Each structure stands twice: as C-alpha cells, then as structure tokens.
Structure 1
Amino acid sequence: MDSFGDTDRIILAGLAFYGYHGVMMEENALGQRFRIDLELGMDLGPAAKADEVSATISYADVYDLVKEAFEERRFKLIEALGLHIMQRLFGRFDRLDWIRIRVRKPEAPLPIVAGEAAIEILRTREQV
C-alpha cells in the first residue's frame, strides 16, 4: 500500500469523454473515447461531521472542471493530459492534498484484442 493508502479521499471513477488527444493522425482526425478515474485526497472529517456540501468538494464541480480541462486543448500524450487536469484541480480546490489520476484509452491504436492503454499519476500539491 502506498503512503496515501490510509487517507480520506473522494473517488470519481469511469468519467467518460470523447476527445482528439494522441500522437497518430487518425486520433486527431477521428477522435476516440477516454475514461478518467480520480482519487482526490483531503480530510473528509469536517464534511462528515457537518453533513454540509460547503465542507467538502462538490462532485459536480470536479466533473465540470475535468471536462473543461479535457476539452480546452489537445495533447499528444495522455501523460500530459493527466498532469494538465491535476494542475487545474489543484488550482481550483485549495482543500486537496493529493490527486491520483488514471487516464485510459480503451480504443488505443494497438493490435490488441482486449484491454486498454492507460497512465496513472500520483502527486501531492507540492509536486505539481
């Protein structure tokens, strides 16, 4: 288990987007589906005690920001896309201590029958 294993987190899994990120010309012209999984590390104690959305981060606000970051420019590498989304999340939500993001390309142009290409990045606020 990593050093973040025992900390509180908000999890958003399987966020689906259609985009034009990639190195190959076909990816840029035709586009493809992407899936994004997020773990957002923060102290959830105050929200759990208060039972108020103002004490946490709204899932809807996170989704809206991820969608905006995903669509605002094209990236060759999903590594760069993932880091860009992290930077935007840290810039907007002061309560975040760390983020784990997984960007998945279920239809990556690879000669595989099943599976997907993906990256995962884990960073603290200080590392971004």
Structure 2
Amino acid sequence: MMDKIFLSGMKFYSYHGVFAEENKLGQIFIVDAVLTLDLKEAGKTDDLETTINYGEAYQLIEKEMETPSKLLEHVAERIVRALFEQYERLEEVTIKITKQNPPIAGHYDGVGIEINRVR
C-alpha cells in the first residue's frame, strides 16, 4: 500500500475552454491533486528531501494552470507530466479540475474531469 500526499481546493484564475468568452474572460478553477509514493523514509527521518515539497508541487501545478488550453483533459495531462518529471519517487498522480461556471445552462456546483496516471 502506497502513501498519499494531497493538495486540495487549489484555486486558480485561468483561461481554459472551447468558447471565445472563456478564453477572454477567464474564471476560477479548483484543482485537487493526490500524489502517491512511499513516505516511510520521510516518516522515519523527518527529512524534506525524502518526500515531496508541497510548495514546489503547488508551483508546478500553478504554472500549468496559467497556460491556456481548450480542454481540461489537456491541462491535467500537462500537470501529471510536470509532476512525474520533477519527482522520480512519485508512483501515481490523480488530478481533478473543476470549472465552477461553465457557459452551459443548468444548476450545479461545477463540471470537470479527473484523471489518474501510474508511472
């Protein structure tokens, strides 16, 4: 059983979407990330070098959220790729991106995607 680090409820003002108004006006997106890896050594040694720095992971996610894309699927894949490239010890990543105010009719808290990738 692997351990997990999570970053939940990260909010980013970004310009993702298929419609021109989404690319012009932007909106708030909520991102949740679950990073799966072995944290046993970090638990024993109390050494930041044996785990994943939350602040660094946040910055990687923020950078990808700043780059406009039509599809949230594309953004999520970029986030996963950046995390895997930065952290060799990372075994699995789950990314959930929620668009709170998509330009579609209806009553809901948001729409979005969730992807899970294993190295």
Q: Structure 2 length as normaliser, TM-score?
A: 0.96
Alignment-derived partner of residue 47 in structure 1: 42
**Is 1:83 the equivalent of 2:77?**
yes
**Is 1:23 the equivalent of 2:23?**
no
Q: CA deviation at 1:103?
A: 0.6
Superposition RMSD in Å: 0.9
User: Which stretches of structure 1, 4 residues or longer, exceed 4 Å deviation after superposition?
Assistant: none
Q: 2: CA distance between counterparts of 1:50 and 1:42?
A: 16
Question: Once the two structures are aligned, what percentage of the paired residues are identical?
Answer: 39
Return the match for 1:70 from 62, 65, 82: 65
Q: Which runs of 5+ in 2 are unaligned?
A: none
Q: 2: CA distance between counterparts of 1:26 and 1:68?
A: 22
Letter of the aligned partner of 2:48 in structure 1? Answer: V
Q: 2: CA distance between counterparts of 1:88 and 1:42?
A: 16
Secondary structure at the residue paired with 1:75?
coil
Alignment-derived partner of residue 117 in structure 2: 123
Tell me the number of residue pairs that the alignment of Structure 1 and Structure 2 aligns. Answer: 119
Q: 1: CA distance between counterparts of 2:46 and 2:112?
A: 35
Q: CA deviation at 1:88?
A: 0.7
Q: 2: CA distance between counterparts of 1:8 and 1:121?
A: 18
Q: CA deviation at 1:115?
A: 1.8
CA distances 1:68-93 after superposition (whole Å, capped 9, x unpaired) = 1211x211000111001111110111
Counterparts of residues 93-108 of structure 1 (less than 5 Å): 93-108=87-102
